[in-house]
Amino acid sequence: MIRDGPKNVRSPAEVVALLKPLPSVSKLVSGRGRWMVGGSRIGKPFYCGVIEGHIRINVRGRLPQVINPGDFVLVPAIVDFSTSSLELPGVSDSYHRVKVSPGEYCLGENGGPPDVQMLPGHCDFATPDSALLVSLLPEVVQVSGEERLTALVRMIHEETLAERAAGALVLRRLPEVLLNEALRCGAGQRRRRVCCVA
């Protein structure tokens, strides 16, 4: 149990520290043409950095969001979600999902260069109180043009695949850094948008 209770948690950084995020899945995904993937991961945070192209993310109960090159999106606790090409596939459309190599996948149509390249991933929370703590975070965080987030996602992906000295130690720290940086950048961009409107 959380001994102090959520009222005594003063910042998103404290929430992230209490959640103790750990990496579980990291992928390099390329897409061409029309495609869609999705699923349900109750309480599992989803993140994605888009390197090239544009994707659409759909989270149950929210309007679809377009994620552009250089953008990063974090959903701290996904229930039902999907990611897709901007043009949704039709019911009769056939598209493939192929594992090219460990940690690398291709989606959509065969042949030709990809329209999209992205680095999606999931985390696990080590604390048993994750549901209560996650409720203190924004439902969706979208950040534009912050290269540090893309660099962190790349590092997680590389460390997940590589067998390097102290790799496990590095992987225990990187998700916490990623979530904190995403929340910090997201809050900063929201404040700037409010100032511009005002």
Q: Mind listing the domains of the chain with CATH numbers?
A: 17-197 (2.60.120.10)
Report d(CA 34, CA 116) in Å as an integer. 11
Residue 39 belongs to what H/E stretch? strand 36-52
Exposed / middle / buried, residue 41 (Cβ in 10 Å: 0-12, 13-18, 19+): middle
Q: What is the pLDDT of residue 106?
A: 93
> Could you tell me where the DSSP H helices lie in the chain?
12-19, 130-134, 147-161, 167-197
In the numeric block, which tokens belong to residue 124? Answer: 């696990």
Q: What is the pLDDT of residue 70?
A: 94
Report d(CA 152, CA 4) in Å as an integer. 31
This prediction's pTM? 0.84
Q: What is the mean pLDDT of each run of 10 residues along the chain (198 residues)?
A: 52 90 90 85 82 91 91 84 87 78 90 91 88 87 91 92 78 92 82 49
> Could you tell me where the DSSP H helices lie in 33-146?
130-134
